[in-house]
């Protein structure tokens, strides 16, 4: 009994330091992870070798590979080109610009995955906002929220879906049929809601808008030959992501091969690219995974699942409701990737006891919706959030834990409520 309480205490205290920003988040998770190891609350060497009870290296190396790819593309001037193009198409209207960036993010996330698209769109956003002399934080937050919503639509769009699909035997088409309809509805309503959510931030100076409108975006391209080679490799990487389940190659391997290939064919000096990697973000993820491993290994998360499993008996709509809202709440405070990996066996047991296949499917979809939408709940709830906040901080535009979370909680609550209505109407 002492081990679960100790693990939970360490996690809660660390989360408090992260949330209040009383200490650097990387230092906090490293201390917390070290305490978990020192007190024997994590499974020894397994923490380095088990994605379910330790560091998920697939996530770490996916991020590393894509950060290298983005670092190379950045040197071509493509991000400046896209920034000027987007600013001119929106005619400098802040809300129109936000909608354009959110739409690009949400439509690309189901194909690429939400972490990858944030790595690609965030640098463009920073350049646009710098050109227009407006704060980039609202736009970055809106893009992350849109990516977590859009990524829920497909098997490969959000890491929790990959975990669930693998365990439940669900296909790409299954996710399109069951998840995409509600995702489209929620995203459309979210776009309308952003005018209210960010109304105080949607201002632009007409003088700077006119300056941007006068720019020639083609002049932003610094090296056409480098750009062509980089885009060819990027397209191959995107195809690899889309077909990874068919090819049986992990997305992390696709990203690493893409990064290595891009460095080879572009002949870029590695020393010029490595500084572009968000090393603090990668270390933060590793520490966070170890912290969550302590909760998993001591049975804290499993106990929550067992309570949900036994509390509803034959009330299957109640069970689906518990999975949806429980995942939405718990996943918001524990990164939704290890949370999903831990809870999937629990859901599998619940599905096995369901009276028919349709009810069992409903439990899986309720779980998937809750796990995906929980990613918007707090600043550390999903990989895309942490990545965007790290990029913003490095660019000199920090986003505090509570600034992100005060928007994310509202969007998560509304998304989950709409998903609950959808589950009720469609399956019960």
Query: In the predicted model, what is the mean pLDDT of the chain?
Result: 83
Contacting residues for 4 by C-beta, under 8 A, at least 6 apart: 298, 299, 300, 303
State the Cα–Cα distance between residues 4 and 294, nearest whole angstrom.
8
In the predicted model, what is the mean pLDDT of residues 373-400? 89
Question: pLDDT tens digit string along 138-189?
Answer: 999 999 999 999 989 987 778 788 778 877 877 777 888 899 999 999 999 9
> What pLDDT score does 261 carry?
92
Is the model more confident about 331 or about 376?
376
> What pLDDT score does 312 carry?
65
State the Cα–Cα distance between residues 263 and 282, nearest whole angstrom.
20
> What pLDDT score does 31 carry?
93
Residue 376 has pLDDT above 70, yes or no: yes
Question: pLDDT tens digit string along 89-111?
Answer: 877 788 888 888 888 888 878 87
pTM above 0.75, yes or no: yes
Residues in the chain: 428
What does the block give as tokens for 303?
A: 């106990």
> What pLDDT score does 50 carry?
67
State the Cα–Cα distance between residues 369 and 363, nearest whole angstrom.
10
> What pLDDT score does 368 carry?
94
> What pLDDT score does 356 carry?
84
> What pLDDT score does 384 carry?
86
In the predicted model, what is the mean pLDDT of residues 256-271? 88
Question: pLDDT tens digit string along 312-334?
Answer: 667 888 888 988 998 898 888 87
Contacting residues for 290 by C-beta, under 8 A, at least 6 apart: 29, 32, 33, 36, 37, 42, 47, 54, 55
Residues 91 and 209 sit within 8 Å (Cβ to Cβ): yes
> What pLDDT score does 425 carry?
93
Which stretches within 21-156 are classed as H helix? 25-38, 57-74, 78-89, 94-112, 114-132, 137-150
Percent of the chain at pLDDT > 70 equals 93
Indicate the pLDDT class of residue 85, thresholds 50, 70 and 90.
confident
Residues 239 and 46 sit within 8 Å (Cβ to Cβ): no
Residues 285 and 26 sit within 8 Å (Cβ to Cβ): no
Compute and round to an integer the Cα radius of gyration of the chain: 21
Question: pLDDT tens digit string along 277-304?
Answer: 878 878 887 888 888 788 878 888 777 6
> What pLDDT score does 201 carry?
77
> What pLDDT score does 310 carry?
67
Window from 5-14, 108-117, 126-135 with minimum mean pLDDT:
108-117
Is the model more confident about 291 or about 411?
411
> What pLDDT score does 397 carry?
92
> What pLDDT score does 53 carry?
66
Indicate the pLDDT class of residue 215, thresholds 50, 70 and 90.
low
Residue 305 has pLDDT above 70, yes or no: no
> What pLDDT score does 112 carry?
67
Residues 379 and 158 sit within 8 Å (Cβ to Cβ): no
Residue 213 has pLDDT above 80, yes or no: no
State the Cα–Cα distance between residues 184 and 279, nearest whole angstrom.
34
> What pLDDT score does 46 carry?
72
Token pair 């090296």 is at which residue? 223
Residue 127 has pLDDT above 70, yes or no: yes
Is the model more confident about 144 or about 50?
144
Q: Residue 203 gets which letter from DSSP?
A: -
State the Cα–Cα distance between residues 319 and 347, nearest whole angstrom.
10
Is the model more confident about 250 or about 175?
175
State the Cα–Cα distance between residues 108 and 352, nearest whole angstrom.
35
Residues 144 and 119 sit within 8 Å (Cβ to Cβ): no
Residues 212 and 84 sit within 8 Å (Cβ to Cβ): yes
> What pLDDT score does 313 carry?
64
Residue 205 has pLDDT above 90, yes or no: no
> What pLDDT score does 51 carry?
59
Indicate the pLDDT class of residue 47, thresholds 50, 70 and 90.
confident
In the predicted model, what is the mean pLDDT of residues 233-239? 85
State the Cα–Cα distance between residues 31 and 9, nearest whole angstrom.
13
> What pLDDT score does 207 carry?
66
Is the model more confident about 386 or about 83?
386
Indicate the pLDDT class of residue 58, thresholds 50, 70 and 90.
confident
- DSSP SS3 for 425: helix
Contacting residues for 225 by C-beta, under 8 A, at least 6 apart: none
């Amino acid at each position: 009994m002492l081990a679960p309480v100790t693990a939970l205490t360490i996690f809660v205290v660390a989360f408090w330091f992260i949330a209040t920003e009383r200490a650097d988040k990387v230092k906090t998770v490293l201390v917390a992870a070290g305490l978990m190891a020192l007190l024997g609350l994590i499974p020894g060497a397994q923490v380095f070798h088990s994605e379910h009870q330790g560091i998920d290296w697939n996530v770490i190396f996916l991020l590393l590979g894509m950060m290298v790819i983005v670092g190379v593309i950045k040197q071509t001037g493509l991000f400046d080109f896209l920034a000027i193009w987007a600013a001119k198409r929106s005619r400098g209207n802040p809300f129109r610009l936000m909608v354009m960036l959110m739409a690009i993010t949400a439509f690309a996330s189901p194909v690429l995955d939400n972490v990858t698209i944030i790595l690609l769109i965030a640098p463009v956003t920073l350049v646009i906002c710098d050109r227009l002399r407006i704060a980039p934080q609202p736009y970055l937050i809106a893009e992350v929220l849109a990516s977590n919503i859009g990524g829920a639509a497909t098997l490969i769009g959000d890491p929790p879906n990959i975990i669930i699909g693998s365990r439940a035997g669900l296909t790409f088409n299954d996710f399109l049929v069951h998840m995409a309809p509600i995702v489209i509805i929620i995203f459309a309503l979210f776009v309308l809601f952003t005018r209210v959510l960010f109304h105080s931030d949607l201002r632009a100076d007409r003088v700077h808008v006119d300056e941007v409108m006068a720019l020639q975006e083609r002049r932003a391209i610094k090296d056409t030959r480098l750009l062509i080679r980089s885009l060819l490799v990027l397209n191959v990487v995107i195809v690899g992501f889309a077909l990874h389940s068919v090819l049986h190659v992990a997305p992390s391997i696709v990203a690493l091969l893409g990064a290595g290939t891009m460095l080879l064919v572009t002949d870029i000096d590695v020393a010029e690219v490595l500084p572009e990697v968000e090393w603090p973000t990668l270390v933060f993820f590793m520490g966070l995974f170890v912290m969550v491993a302590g909760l998993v290994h001591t049975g804290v998360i499993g106990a929550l699942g067992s309570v949900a499993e036994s509390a509803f008996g034959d009330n299957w709509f109640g069970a689906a409701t518990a999975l949806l809202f429980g995942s939405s709440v718990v996943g918001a405070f524990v990164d939704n990737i290890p949370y999903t990996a831990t809870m999937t066996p629990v859901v599998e047991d619940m599905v096995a006891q369901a009276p028919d296949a349709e009810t069992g499917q409903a439990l899986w979809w309720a779980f998937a919706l809750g796990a995906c939408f929980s990613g918007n709940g707090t600043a550390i709830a999903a990989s895309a959030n942490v990545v965007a906040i790290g990029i913003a901080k490095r660019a000199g535009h920090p986003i505090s834990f509570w600034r992100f979370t005060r928007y994310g909680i509202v969007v998560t609550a509304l998304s989950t409520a709409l998903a609950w209505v959808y589950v009720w109407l469609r399956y019960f």
